[in-house]
Amino acid sequence: MTFTATIAGVPRIGPNRELKKALEAYWRDPSTGRQLATTATRLVNDYTDAALAAGLDQVAFSGRSFYDAVLDTSALLGALPERVADIPDHSNDGLPPYVDRLFAAARGTKELPASAMTKWFDTNYHYIVPELSAATQFRLEDGAWLEDLRDQVNRVGGEKIRPVLIGPLTYLSLARTTDGSDALDHLDAVFSAYNRLLPRIADRGVQWLQFDEPTLVTDVDRDLLGRVAEGYRSLASTAHDHGLKLLVQSYFGDGDVTVETLQGTGVDAIGVDLVYGNPELPSWSGDVQLVAGVVDGRNVWRTALDQALATLQQLAERGPIAVSTSCSLLHVPYSLDPETTLGDDLRSWLAFGAEKIAEVALLAKALADESQRNSEQWDAARRSVASRKTSTLTHNAAVRDRQSKIEDADRQRASVSDRRAAQQETLGLPPLPTTTIGSFPQTTEIRQARAKWRKGELSDEQYRRAMKDEVADVIRRQEALGLDVLVHGEPERNDMVQYFSEQLEGYHSTEHAWVQSYGSRCVRPPILYGDVSRPHPMTVEWFRTAQELTDKPVKGMLTGPVTMLAWSFVRDDQPLGVTADQVALALRDEIADLVDAGAKIVQVDEPAIRELLPLRKADQPAYLQWAVGAFRLATSGATSHTQIHTHMCYSEFNELIGTVGDLNADVTSIEAARNGMQVLGALRDSGFELGVGPGVWDIHSPRVPKQSEVDELLASALDSVDPALLWVNPDCGLKTRGWEETTASLEVLVSAAQNARANLA
């Protein structure tokens, strides 16, 4: 009943995005439910089989997850939002009976709003926020999950798989309440629900069960840690009564608090992140098995095997250990094999999911028998680590020389009052100006044209012409809607980070390295491997095309330096702040070229600035210093007459309003509609004096908002924000929406702004 080589968690979208395609087919046509169920089952089975064949002796098992693990937990605990309770159980085609309620909570319906969605700790994955109240009762709806578990045990044996559940502390710490109560008041109730579940899990024949508790690496109150310890003491007792062993897994930070809290409670193993936490782990006594996360589950660089083995050997002298990844492999692509455009050097430096599994297996063998270090695999890893340190691909002398000359003045602009007066004179906008965030629907025609261009079936000129026709169409549509500040719609951009990475030196854009962002949404994070520079202008042609078609101002559209790092697999051989400033210098040059081309407004999006915020408060000031500094370096070359916008989404910004102000952007648009305008109180209390656009339309839900909804949201915004500072905009970009719903929703948005202006007058 033990294991030596495992992984902390598994991806679920499929190496070729099979689950994405099956999900979207089902959302279009529910009669395809059997296909969705079969696809999800096959992906789980294939991944388990491949991991076992690669040398792992136990694999994490989350069951078939159709959207998000936190949302799965809400369904398992019978805690989906009350508003979806009347949606009937799904018919028996292999899908869980609650699946349509689950999708309604995640995506909304024409009548029902979606649940809030935000970032999973400091990653680029998103989870659906649980909605609880003081009256919430947890009633296990576990039949489908237990059936999945039974089928897997029958396939491979109960000793080879380890079911994974979100732990009570983490689930409740990520929840919101609809009545102002404290979600953590339910801690005992969730532990009790899991206690009822354990015997049913044991009856399915498994030997180990994993609870994920990444919240334990954050700042948790000591009294609360005591309650968590008592809860796991109870779970361990129940588990042992039924022949189960418990692993509690933390990740994304130092594991000492996890060990201190759980050591002595009876849990049988504790999993910790030794890549992003202290590898010496001084708190571990050796009395409980340690699942040592020495292979980075979040980034794509090859493991320094000698260093990792030394860590494992030192720990093994103190007690029993197993080798693992630092976190779930959800966050990295499946395999290097499909990537055909990687140069030999860069390929040799990388390890995607399949390669990381091989590293775990190799380290476990070497820990048991050090002669395994004499293999070609081991030698190749050594050569890779050494070559990356000295390669000319990673070091650009001109970039480093320019960076060494940055001064404090390069991060400063004129006063807010001077800028506001200059911009009002330049722009002459009405009160409550309307705009969108940047992207418009990426239609089938756009995607087909891009695919043909990449295959060589369209010439560069034919592709540019097609995209310019799309820009012209977007400008016409915006003018017809009556928007005040326009965008070119970004038809030429596949992704807001990948597009720029394809034009910057120091980046490599992959072909098939997909990872799940949320639900069916997948991204291909580029690999930032070297010093960053801009060989040529990246967006000026598209801006100029749009601005020549209208008398209204068109925004230049860029992605900010922090987001360019956060949504990439970033180099780990120098401080993040150094890399961020390199990207900032490239963006500074781009802004100068946009202004020279006539841009009066430039938007530099930073949706990820909250995402990278360190999980412990003690580490946050240093991060904020370089993150804010990089944004200001990128934007401070603009004169007072140039209005700088930024955009933020997918995260909680209430506690970071001061940082939003420190960015010193003239206008900040913030996702707010899906989060119930929670940011407004922070704006009001902080005396925020810059322009702000709290989103009044949740674009992540496939529904057109009612006029009354948007009117109410805008009225709420006006109660907290000076009308002279308020903008009216959606929550986020519109690339994932269709034109019909986009047009109808923007008509509502513009009408709400016009109504509010009339009331102000």
As averages over each run of 10 residues, the pLDDT of the chain (761 residues) reads: 92 97 97 97 97 97 95 98 94 92 94 91 95 97 96 97 98 96 98 98 97 98 97 98 98 97 98 97 96 98 97 97 98 96 95 98 95 88 92 94 97 96 96 96 94 93 96 98 97 93 96 95 96 97 98 98 97 96 98 98 93 93 96 97 90 73 93 75 81 89 89 91 94 92 96 95 83
CA 516-517-519 angle, to 5 degrees, is 80
Is 416-760 the same fold as 18-390?
yes
CA end-to-end distance (rounded Å), the chain: 74
Q: Is residue 676 left, alpha or beta, with left meaning phi > 0 and alpha meaning psi from -120 to 50?
A: left
- As a whole number of angstroms, the distance between CA 747 and CA 471 comes to 20
> What does the block give as tokens for 429?
């906008």
**Given the structure tokens 């800028």, which residue do they identify?**
419
Look at residues 705, 709, 710, 699 and name the one whose alpha carbon lies nearest to residue 736.
699
Element (H, E) at 692: strand 691-694
Distances (CA, A) of 738 to 23, 439, 581, 734: 17, 12, 37, 8
Query: Do residues 209 and 249 touch, judged by C-beta distance below 8 A?
Result: no
**3-state secondary structure at position 544:** helix
CA 125-74-251 angle, to 5 degrees, is 40
Element (H, E) at 708: helix 707-720
- As a whole number of angstroms, the distance between CA 90 and CA 79 comes to 17
Give the pairing type, strands 131-132 and 126-128. Answer: unpaired
Instruction: Return the CA Rg of the chain.
Output: 26
**Given the structure tokens 């959606």, which residue do they identify?**
730
Amino acid at residue number 759: N
Residues of each annotated binding site for L-methionine:
437-439, 490, 605
Q: For residue 645, indicate whether it is catalytic.
A: no
> What does the block give as tokens for 720?
């907290």
In 129-184, DSSP assigns E strands to: 131-132, 161-166, 176-177
Domain boundaries, the chain: 18-390, 416-760
**3-state secondary structure at position 32:** helix
- As a whole number of angstroms, the distance between CA 717 and CA 760 comes to 13
What's residue 285's pLDDT? 94
Residues of each annotated binding site for 5-methyltetrahydropteroyltri-L-glutamate:
20, 124, 521-522, 567
Beta bridge partners of 435: none
Written as one string, the DSSP assignment of 94-116 is SS-TTHHHHHHHHH--SSSPPPP
Per CATH, the architecture of 416-760 is what?
Alpha-Beta Barrel (3.20)
Query: Do residues 3 and 55 touch, judged by C-beta distance below 8 A?
Result: no
| Strand ordering across the sheet containing 527-533 | 505-508, 527-533, 569-570
Look at residues 253, 389, 367 and name the one whose alpha carbon lies nearest to residue 305.
367
Q: Does domain 18-390 have CATH number 3.90.850.10?
A: no
Catalytic residue among 126, 186, 508, 700: 700
What's residue 699's pLDDT? 86
- As a whole number of angstroms, the distance between CA 146 and CA 79 comes to 17
Look at residues 533, 518, 528, 526 and name the one whose alpha carbon lies nearest to residue 576.
528
Residues of each annotated binding site for Zn(2+):
647, 649, 662, 671, 732
